[in-house]
Structure 1
Amino acid sequence: MTHKTKGIVLRTIKYGETSLVVTIFTELFGVQTYMVNGVRSAKKTGAKASYLQPAAILDLIVYHGEHKPMQRIKEFSWAFLYQNVLSDVIKNSIASYMVELLFKCLKQPETNTDLFNFCEEALVELDSCSKKVAANFPLFFALHLTHFFGFRMEDNYSSGNNFIDLQEGIFTDHQPVHPHFIQGERAQLTSQLLKVMQPHELEEFNLNHITRRQLLLDYQDYYALHIPEFGQMKTLMVLHEVL
């Protein structure tokens, strides 16, 4: 039986001479793995394979069987045609970071329409936003993605509560006894970023690359404390370079 669904490509691995194994976060079935045959043949390499790169937003017609480790795609086409994300080095690096972060968090193939809508809207916003907004976009996405996985930070910052306990996800008035905390300016900026509801508001943040870099490392630490086997993000080093 076939189903129509949207999907965001998370990872693509070459298989054999002509096929791909593609991990896609679908609107209907959550994260799924698909075998796509013949897509890398000489006649199709320049066209169909380009649809299946990370961050692509697709309309899909898929075969779906419950509890199968790998599904199949009947048809796929663009659901949204990017103008910049797949061609601009900076925006592509940011999208790659967003997709890797999402991939590391998605552990079970369960439907989460709200999460899908958030990620789709974020990628569409990234495509058309200004350079300044784009530079702050990874911080916004990393902080707000936590909401969908149940460990969003509680924004109770004040001049007294100026430490973030990353193990507990709260602001506190004393330095935690463990090394996983944020303090001072970075804690205040995190509180301000938590208040951002729409990406265009990121235009108001005047951050230098050193502060952005440290915040992204802080947030990676936060995810590693709350997502089992999270590890290190491969795209973070690239992001540090381009930003």
Structure 2
Amino acid sequence: MLHKTRGIALSYIRYRETSIIARVYTEAFGLQSYVVNNVRSAKSKTNKIALFQPMTLLDMVVYYKDDRDLNRLSEIKTLHPLQSIPFDIAKSGIALFLTEMLTKSLKEESGNPMLFQFLLESILLLEHLETGYENFHLAFLAKLSAYLGFGAENAREFEQQLREHSYPFLPNAETELALNTLLRRPVGTAVRLSRADRLNLLEALVAYYRIHVDAMGEIKSLAVLHEVMS
């Protein structure tokens, strides 16, 4: 049966000679995998594979059966073409890292309109920010944790949970103030952090996710993020 839904591209892997399997977070059905045929063929007249780059916003018509791990696409186009994220090296590094975190953290195969709206608005914010996005990934992870059901109320609760799992997070006054702002205020709210404190808080946030998300494994894009944000 055909359904219309918006989606956010997360990642894809090669499948057979000319196809891919794309992971997409959809508004209607949560996290889904789609077989997309003939996107890697030399005979393909369109660069459809570009639609599955990290954080691409999609407007889709999809086939859906709840007993299938793989579904298929009927129609697909960009919902809001991204002009900044794919071409700005810092933004693309942030997008790569956050989509890997999302891929490992999102588990539900059912719609969650509030979470989808948060993701959509956050991506559009990153797209349109011209400056001041060096802490965007920290704010995103802090707020996302609440939508996933394990957000801390404040910096002290965050620190306590890490300490209970033997992670030595000891924030200074500036980091604690910044973390409280990230947890309580909307993504995009300005915070002041030195580069060292930013890296320290990023490692702490990844550790916090490891506590709450089963089998996260290695975050391969973390090294890339460190490189582009240095």
Superposed pair shares fold, TM > 0.5: yes
* Residue type at the aligned position of 1:182: L
Cα separation, partners in 2 of 1:4 and 1:178, compared to 1, 3 Å: same
* Aligned equivalent of 2:160: 165
Cα separation, partners in 2 of 1:44 and 1:210, compared to 1, 3 Å: farther
Q: Is 1:189 matched with 2:178?
A: yes
Verify the 8 A CA contact 1:180 1:221 in the aligned structure 2. Answer: no
Give runs of aligned pairs for residues 21-60 of structure 1, distance below 5 A.
21-44=21-44, 47-60=47-60
Q: Is 1:220 matched with 2:209?
A: no
CA deviation after TM superposition for structure 1 residue 188, in Å: 3.0
* Number of aligned residues: 228
Deviations for 1:23-66, whole angstroms, at most 9, x for unmatched residues?
Answer: 10000000010001111111337521111222111100111111
Aligned partners of 1:222, 1:2: CA distance in 2, in Å? 39
Larger Rg: 1
* Residue type at the aligned position of 1:117: Q
Aligned partners of 1:7, 1:176: CA distance in 2, in Å? 37
Which SS does the other structure have where 1:131 is aligned? coil
* Aligned equivalent of 2:10: 10
Contiguous gaps of at least 5 residues in structure 2 = none
Aligned partners of 2:176, 2:160: CA distance in 1, in Å? 10
Cα separation, partners in 2 of 1:195 and 1:36, compared to 1, 3 Å: same
Provide runs of 4+ in structure 1 moved above 6 Å: none
* Aligned equivalent of 1:172: none
Aligned-residue CA RMSD (Å): 2.0
Contiguous gaps of at least 5 residues in structure 1 = 168-174
Cα separation, partners in 2 of 1:27 and 1:121, compared to 1, 3 Å: same
Aligned partners of 1:163, 1:112: CA distance in 2, in Å? 25
* Aligned equivalent of 2:137: 138
TM-score normalised by structure 1 residue count? 0.87
Give runs of aligned pairs for residues 49-88 of structure 1, distance below 5 A.
49-88=49-88
TM-score normalised by structure 2 residue count? 0.92
The percentage of counterpart residues that share the same residue type is: 34
